[in-house]
Structures are given as C-alpha cells and as structure tokens.
Amino acid sequence: MLYEITDGTVTSGGETILPHIHFEIRGTEKIGLVGPNGAGKTTLLRLIAGEIFPDRDDRRQGPAVVTSRRVTTGMLTQTQEKDKDHTIDELIMEACPADDIFSKEYYDYQAEYDRIFTGFGFRKEDKGKKLGEFSGGEQTKIAMIQLLLLKPDILLLDEPTNHLDLKAIEWLEEYMRQYSRAVVFVSHDRFFLDRTVDVIYDLQNGRLTRYAGNYTSFREQKRKKLAAARKAYESQQKDIERLDALIEKFKHKPRKAAFARSRKTILDRMEKLPKPGEEDVPVFTEEIDPLVKANKWPIEAEKLEIGYDKTLLRLSLKVRRGQKIGIIGDNGSGKTTFLRTLAGFTDPVSGECRLGERTTIGYFDQQTASLESEDLVVDHFHRLFPAMTEKEVRKILGRYLFTGSKAQTRVSALSGGEKARLVIAEILESRPNLLLLDEPTNHMDIQVKETLENAVRSYTGTVLFVSHDRYFISRVADAILVFEEGRAMYYPFGYEHYLERAKKKRGENLSALLRSEDQAMIEGLRSVPEKEKHRLKEYSTEELSRDWMIRLAKEELAEAEENYQEAALKELEFFQQEYLRWVVRSLEIQEYEQEGPDEKNIKRDLSVETAETLKAKREEAEKRLTEALISLDMK
C-alpha cells in the first residue's frame, strides 16, 4: 500500500466536507476521482498533497494518513502563479537533477523535456520565450510540463485536459498510460478517464466508494450495485410487513402471544437497510420511435459544396435509415454549416442535397436552446404536447432530470445547459425521424450528458451530430464523418475503432475513394477513379473490406447458429410428434387397418417428406456455419 487514509475527516468553517473517508493508493495505480461539483474532490487532492490535514477524531485509532515509505507528491491546480519574467527554459531547467551538461542524467532530462514540450503542442523555439508571453491556458500547460518532469511518487492532476486541444489530450493519454508512478485525476473528461485509469473513486454525499476498472466499468458496476441494493431493500420491506402483520394478528390472542413477542424481537433486532437513492442517470428502458418511418435513404448528397462566401467542403454522401453518425473536425471545417445546410437554413454553394420522402427533422443548436418564456417548465412542455396528461408530462420531464421543484421553475430562470436539455426533450418527444444535433452536450455536467446519451441511444431514427465530447461520440456514433482540408472522410465503424486505425496509419497516405451511392453502406464499399476528387476520401479499401468481412463473417456465424438450432429443434419436435402419433395409431390399430391403402401411403409420404425437408434445412445450416467459421478464421 503506497498511501492510505483511514477514517479521515476534513472540516472547513465548521462544515464537514469529508466525513470519515477511506482512501488508498496501491503501487502505481492510475485513479480517477469523480463526483458532482462541490462534493469535495479538490479538497481530497489537497489532503493527499499535504496542503491540509485531517481533523483529530476520537473514533479513529492511530494516524489518519499512512504511507509505505516517504513519498513525494506533486499537484496541478487549475490556476498557476509563476514568475512572468523568466523564460520557459530557465523555469524548467531549474529542476534538472544534474549540472553537468555532458552527464547522462542531464541528457535524459533534456530529451524528456523536449518530448513533453512538443507533445503539448509547443515548438522548440518557444523555450526562449518568457512565461508572460503565453496565454493563461498555455501557462497551465507549462506548469503541467514542469510537474511531469519532476516525476513525484503521487501525481495529482485537477482537470488536466482543460486548455488542451485534441492532439495534446491524445498525447497526454498515451503518456499517462506509460507513466511509471501513481496518478490521481479529477476530470470531467470521461473518455480521458476511460483510456487512462484503472480505478475509480466515486465521491457522493460525503461517501467515498472504490471501483476497479475504468469509467465505463464503474458506471456499470454502480448501476448493478444500486439495483441489488434496491432489490434487497424491497425484500426486507416485505419481510417487515409480513412480521408486522403476524404481530398484529396474534398479539391479542393468549395462546399466540408468545409467538407474536418472538416475531417482535426478530423485527427489533433486524438491521434495517437504508432506502437506496434513485438512479442518478435515468435509464430509457423503451425505444423512442419516430412517428413516421423514413424511407431507406433519408439523406442523399451529390457533389455537394457547402459554405458562405467560399466553399468550405465538398462531399457526396448517402445516409442509411437508422444510422447514428458523429461529425468531427477542426473548428471552421464546415461541421455546423453542413448541418444547417441539411436542415435548410443555409443554401448550398452548388450540388444537390436531397431529403428522402416522409423525412421529418429535429434540429438542435445553441441558438434553438435560447428559450425565453415566463411559463413554468411543466406548463411550457404541456402546452407543446396538449394531448398528454399532466402525469405523462411529469414522467417524461423526469426522464430528462426535470423532477420536483425543477419542473416548477420558470423557463427563463433555467441555466443555459438546462434550457438545452429541455429543448432536446421537446425534440425527442416530438418524434422526428431525422435528428441533427450541433454540440448538444455544451454546458452540461456528466449526469446530464449521460442522460442525453441514453436518450439518443434509445432513439431509433437517424442521427447526425457534431460534438467535441469524445465519450459522447464513442457511446452514440456507429460511424464517423471527419471533415478535413475541404473534404469529408467517412469511417464505417465506431469512434474508438477509428482512433486505433488513425493511430496505426498516422503519417501514411489514406486516399482510397468511394462511390457516393455506396458510401454510407459498408457492404457496398467500392473504389472510384482517382480523378473524382469530390468523392469521399477513405481509409484503405482493402483494410476496410477486411474489417467488414470479419463483421460479416460474425453475423453469418450468428445467423447460421440460429438457423441450425431452429432446424434441429423443429426436427426434434417433429419426431416427438410422430412418436406420439405412432402411439395413438397403435392404440387405434383396428381403425387404422380399415383405412384404404392410398390413405396410408399419403400419411407415410407426408411424414417422410417433412422429416427430409427439416433434415436438409439442418444440413444447410451446418454447412453455412462451417463456411462462416472458415471465413472468420481466414480473416
């Protein structure tokens, strides 16, 4: 055990912030600390860093903090005060462990310095600049570089991805995975936590709970733990009701009074389970289906050019019904313009953009979320859906975290994130078949983001969305559209798959092209002539075909297994029925013998034909299963 807090309590201004917590760091663990704002996460980091100390407590036996050896800690806070007149080189080289510029230690430190400095997006020439010449966000990066070079035994990072662009975040993720010391992160970037940590501590209502695994694993464990606690509580409540009923029934009967007293003793000694809280993120157990089913191709774009004064992007695209496509790219690459063009708010520069028949659009951006109404939330929502009862309205609002007093708040008094959430609830409950979302998770905390994720995943229509929230993209998108250098790159798999492939192909030419009419259909991947520059740039057709064939083989495998099991079951049922019929015919043999020979032959032929048909189906299913296995193995 590298570090341990036992029964530690921290108070401030007479208010208890962390009551009787237990926290431990084992070896070189990477720990994520999560919880709502104000729960005490930063206070815990300061406690580990030694900036504050636990209160004395009569309940505790021994010291509150124990370490296996003398450990060093280093903490990154969200604001840093440094000497603005010093150059970056002067500030960072102060901590160099060697003065001799020819020593190995000096060389290793300088090499690591260069690696981290450029990894955060700086140029080597920037080392000679003074700290005051950099922005606040860049100064925070420089403070983190200094901290990483110190390599403390316990590294404490408070919102380390703030002020970092996507490339720097990805670099930091890779660096943290290889980092040889213990790290504790406080971060709202769930994707970052998923890719860096192996332990999560959840701080809720002053209680600190440890979960093994990354963020996604923690969410699933917590959901199951809450479900089990709710089930145990409900079971105990039934036992209590049963015991109360027995006591009430027999306590006034002399011959049963002793029995009633024994039940009362059992009830009094029973350790009562606390009532579990509600699920902190609502689960959408039912699908959200569009009111009108769209045709197979809700969106078709042919040689489409989008932009305003000049063309930002050229692409051809077909979107299949039910797809959920995440759109990513640098700022100014045309992501929002593309959605506005699809929605009809912006005219294309040239080319065609067609919406399929019966397509109904639900469009969201930050402007549509600028609600101004003096109505209460519940009244505002009910006015939009007058056919609903008040009970139905409150139930739906509850799914989107507008419960209790929140539903009685005036719309104009809601925060920007709450207004956005209300608009998204309105759009989803109006049940369009095409959803266009532009940065839907802006200004939302983790709980609200996950509520939105669950809602969009439950939606069965077509979705195109722009987002910088990588976890949201990975949870929702089944395909990725990347805008870069005026062109669109379509990737027919999930976001994490795309990142892994992009990492492997970094620095290589990824210029395979696709026919537009087959672009959105993985099964129709085919290349087009090199001169068709307006077509979608793609990763290697050979590689995508290989990945897709693996998926096809898996699907073929599952289908073959299902067909085989179905055919075998039907055959078994058939022979069971034939056996029963044979028994019945044996009992009625005299009646059977009186039938004419033609009738007997017909019955026999029908039985044989049915058995042979089922046998053939089973053999065909077995053949397909074998072929699928061979295909999958060859891939």
Query: Residues 58, 115: contact at Cβ < 8 Å?
Result: no
pLDDT at 492 over 90: no
DSSP 287-336: -B--SS---S-SEEEEEEEEESSSEEEEEEEEE-TT-EEEEEE-TTSSHH
- Mean pLDDT on 120-136: 90
153 CB-side CA count, 13 A: 14
User: What long-range pairs does 221-227 form, CB within 8 A, spacing at least 24?
Assistant: 223/279, 223/283, 226/276, 226/277, 226/279
Q: What is the C-alpha to C-alpha distance for residues 430 and 390, in angstroms, rounded to an integer?
A: 17
182, β-bridge pairs: 154
Residues 6+ apart with CB under 8 A from 255: none
Note the pLDDT tens digit of each residue in 183-192.
999 998 999 9
- For residues 373-401, give the mean pLDDT: 93
Rg of the Cα atoms in the chain = 32
Stronger pLDDT, 617 or 332, i.e. the higher one: 332
pLDDT at 283: 76
Q: What is the pLDDT of residue 568?
A: 66
Least confident range of 131-140, 148-157, 249-258, 549-558 = 549-558
Judged against a pLDDT cut of 70, whether residue 633 lies above it is answered with: no
| 493 compared with 355, residue with greater pLDDT | 355
CB atoms within 10 A of CB 589: 9
Of residues 101 and 592, the one with the higher pLDDT is: 101
Average pLDDT estimate for 13-35: 92
Which of the four pLDDT bands, split at 50, 70 and 90, describes residue 101? confident
pLDDT at 610: 53
The token duo for 299 is: 């969106």
The DSSP call for residue 87 is B
Using CA atoms, how far apart are residues 394 and 526, in angstroms rounded to an integer?
50
Sign of the CA dihedral running 79, 80, 85, 86: negative
Show the tokens assigned to 28.
């070189």
Task: Give me the pLDDT at residue 512, please.
Answer: 32
Q: How far apart are CA 383 and CA 473, in angstroms?
A: 33
Burial code of 121-159, b = ≥16 C-beta within 10 A, e = fewer? ebeeebbeeebeebeeebbbbbbbbbbbbeebbbbbbbb
What percentage of residues in the chain have a pLDDT greater than 90?
49
CA distance 168 to 120: 5
pLDDT digits (tens, 9 = 90+) for 452-465: 999 999 999 999 99
Least confident of 299-313, 314-328, 402-416, 612-626: 612-626
**What does the pLDDT read at residue 557?**
61
Instruction: Quote the CA–CA distance of 312 and 124 in Å, as a whole number.
Output: 32
User: Tens of pLDDT along 596-631?
Assistant: 444 444 444 444 445 566 566 666 666 665 665 555
Residue 556 confidence (pLDDT) above 80: no
- Average pLDDT estimate for 570-598: 56
Tokens linked to 464: 């195109």
Least confidently predicted of 219-228, 269-278, 292-301, 372-381: 269-278
Q: How far apart are CA 269 and CA 291, in angstroms?
A: 55
| Whether pLDDT at 102 is above 70 | yes
Q: What integer pLDDT is reported at residue 611 of this predicted model?
A: 54
**Residue 316's pLDDT band (cuts 50, 70, 90):** confident
pLDDT band at 517 (very low <50, low <70, confident <90, very high): very low
* Number of other residues whose CB lies within 10 A of the CB of residue 119: 17
Cβ distance 297 to 356 under 8 Å? yes
How large is the average pLDDT for residues 506-529? 39
**Which pLDDT belongs to residue 221?**
94
Please give the DSSP secondary-structure letter assigned to residue 485: T
Contact 125, 118 (CB under 8 A): no
**Separation CA 602–CA 169 (nearest Å):** 75
Is the model's pLDDT at 535 over the cut of 50? no
Tens digit of each residue's pLDDT (9 = 90 or more) over 406-443: 999 999 998 888 898 999 999 999 999 999 999 998 87
| pTM, 2 dp | 0.74
Contact 513, 316 (CB under 8 A): no
Residue 574 has pLDDT above 70, yes or no: no
Q: Above 80 in pLDDT, residue 42?
A: yes
Spell out the alpha helix ranges (H) of 151-295: 166-178, 190-196, 215-250, 257-269
- Residue with the bigger pLDDT between 434 and 309: it is 434
Average pLDDT over residues 482-490: 85
CA–CA distance, 488 with 314 (Å, rounded to integer): 7
CA-to-CA dists, residue 64 to 23, 45, 73, 130, angstroms: 10, 15, 17, 43
**pLDDT given at position 4:** 94
Distances in Å between the Cα of 576 and the Cα atoms of 573, 581, 589, 616 are 5, 9, 19, 18
Residues whose CB is less than 8 angstroms from the CB of residue 43 and which lie 6 or more positions away in sequence, other chains included: 10, 12, 17, 18, 52
- Average of per-residue pLDDT values in the chain: 82
Note whether 538 and 514 are within 8 A (CB).
Answer: yes
Query: What is the rounded distance in angstroms from the CA atom of residue 396 to the CA atom of residue 506?
Result: 45
Angle at 287 between CA 286 and CA 290, to 5 degrees: 140
Q: Which amino acid is at 161?
A: T
341 and 284 Cβ atoms separated by less than 8 Å: no
Lowest mean pLDDT among 117-126, 160-169, 424-433, 624-633: 624-633
The phi, psi pair for 430, rounded to 5°, reads -80, -10
Query: Poorest-confidence range of 213-217, 470-474, 504-508, 527-531?
Result: 527-531
Phi-psi domain of 582 (left: phi exceeds 0; alpha: psi -120 through 50; beta: other): alpha
